[in-house]
Amino acid sequence: MEMQVTIKTKLKISNSEIAWSFSKTMEQYRQACNYVSEYIFNNDFDMKQSRLNKELYTKLRN
């Protein structure tokens, strides 16, 4: 039996430039997750990794 543990943390970044960069990175990550989720939802929940990679990799990397 596999157990999943979720931990809630708060990240403190004292350097404002690094904090801004991290925030932008997390926003891009969120948008990428939403894009993949929408693609899967609109394509009959096809979850084959090879097909997802072929369809989404280039778009996500740009």
Convert the pLDDT of each residue in 12-61 to its tens digit. Answer: 999 999 999 999 999 999 999 999 999 999 988 888 899 999 999 999 99
Nearest to 32 by CA among 53, 57, 60, 55: 60
pLDDT at 1 over 90: no
Identify the pLDDT of residue 44. Answer: 85
Task: Tell me how far apart the alpha carbons of residues 21 and 26 are, in angstroms, rounded to a whole number.
Answer: 9
